[in-house]
Amino acid sequence: MQHALVVAGLGFGDEGKGSVVDWLVRRHGAELVVRYNGGPQAAHHVVLADGRTHCFAQIGAGALLPGVRTFLSRYMLVDPLALKAEAEQLARHGEQPVYSRLLIDPRCVIVTPFHRLVNQLRELARGAARHGSCGRGVAEAQLDSERGGLPVVRVGDVRQPARLLSTLRLLWQVKIDQAEQLLDELGPAHPQLPQLRALLGELCKPYRAAALAKEYGALLCRRGIQLTESPPEVHTAVFEGAQGALLDRDHGLFPYVTPSRTTLENATALLDEWAPAARRTRVGVLRAYATRHGAGPLPTEDAALLARLPERHNRDDRWQGGFRLGWFDGLLGRHALRTVGGVDALVVTCLDRLAGLGPLKVADSYLDPELGEPLHELPVAAELGARAALSARLYALVPQYRPMAGWDEPGPASQSYVEQLAAMLATPVAALSLGPTAEDKRVLLPGAL
């Protein structure tokens, strides 16, 4: 591997990473997309010029190009049933073959329906204090793999059917026990008890382990998927991150975080191992306005803006919660850039969606009502308590807005808006996305990308 472009979101997810990955694969002729974090909860939409759309979850967002392969690194969590559904959807788009272009590290943790159901039980049990989980079981599987003594199913277990079945059976029993204990702790007065009992009943259905073992083996051993710990030799690869830096397990705004490392850390470790001499381009992706899916602080949130910018792909979700919008937030952007250690190229997406809205505004500082002082930078917090305190504090801070001229067509006003974003972030904008397709991308700094 001679060149690696590493793509990371700089928000709370939903920045447009899938579209940017697809564009970078086309622009650089990349042969491989490496997924370096996350799991089946990703929703990376790619729109083709002919209108076809696919929401990538586990397969790399460059797979709509013939011959481009996907490598699921050891940091990925894999749901084989969701993977099968995604591959079938791609096949309906005419993308053949799918499985023969897919490589998976056998050390990847498998997300089972047992994880999903217990994940949903835990989230329901939190009531009004929900964290905003996607309800797919990814966090449950990730944390299980890090706790000693708990059964963990990995992709490589399909090579040993007897071991796969015994581990799935043990995991099933453990999850039933955990769910029963949780309901006992909550007691009969919990307002969500009927829904919780329904989930427990679904978890307790018999013969689940045997059926899963059979289906996992049929998919991962017999469909042309290659199980390997290293990617194939290629000239150029795009590393596709999931979620966003502000959700990082170690640096994000706790408790509204993912158990995944959403910074560049995983990608850096993989490149140090596979191709230490490769040229690396760190690509940060950020929308031209703020977004968040589900619970947690969003200081510049504006319900009126959401009403004027209906989301094309992200919908309100029973588990994750509603999709939320706000004005561009320079403080959170700078905080995300510090979290990932800076980027070599910044891509601002969805600029076209602001056209025709009239006067705009951006936030470059907050006012702390208690202190009566402006806040220009968020403190870097490492301890969980300090990160939780920062999250709580964000609810009380008042964004200080800078008015900006709007525009109907690209021109001086839109250019000024981009320049203001770059100035606030102290990072040049290397490219813009002015629409959903690869053809809608505009390079501002050819040397960066």
**12 CB-near residues (< 8 Å, 6+ apart):** 243, 244, 246, 247, 291, 292, 293, 296, 298
H or E stretch covering 34: strand 32-35
Inter-axis angle of helices 330-340 and 412-425, to 10 degrees?
50
Among candidate residues 22, 44, 293, 335, the one labeled active-site is: 44
**312 CB-near residues (< 8 Å, 6+ apart):** 45, 436
Classified as helix, coil or strand, 244 is coil
Classified as helix, coil or strand, 345 is strand
Beta bridge partners of 403: 361
φ/ψ of 425, rounded to 5, equals -90, -10
Classified as helix, coil or strand, 291 is strand
Looking from the CA of 5 toward its CB, the CA atoms found within 13 Å total: 29
Give the residue from 307, 304, 332 showing the smallest Cα distance to 397: 332
Distances, alpha carbon 258 to alpha carbons 245, 262, 334, 379, 395, in Å = 10, 8, 20, 20, 20
The residue type at 218: A
Beta carbons of 168 and 209 less than 8 angstroms apart: yes
How far apart CA 179 and CA 303 sit, in angstroms, is: 37
14 is catalytic: yes
Q: How many helices (H) and strands (E) does the chain have?
A: 12, 20
Q: Which three-class secondary structure string do you get for 59-126?
A: CCCCCCCCCCEEEECCCCEECHHHHHHHHHHHHHCCCCCCHHHEEECCCCEECCHHHHHHHHHHHHHC
How far apart CA 350 and CA 370 sit, in angstroms, is: 35
Cβ count near 92 (within 10 Å): 10
Beta carbons of 72 and 102 less than 8 angstroms apart: yes
Catalytic residues: 14, 44
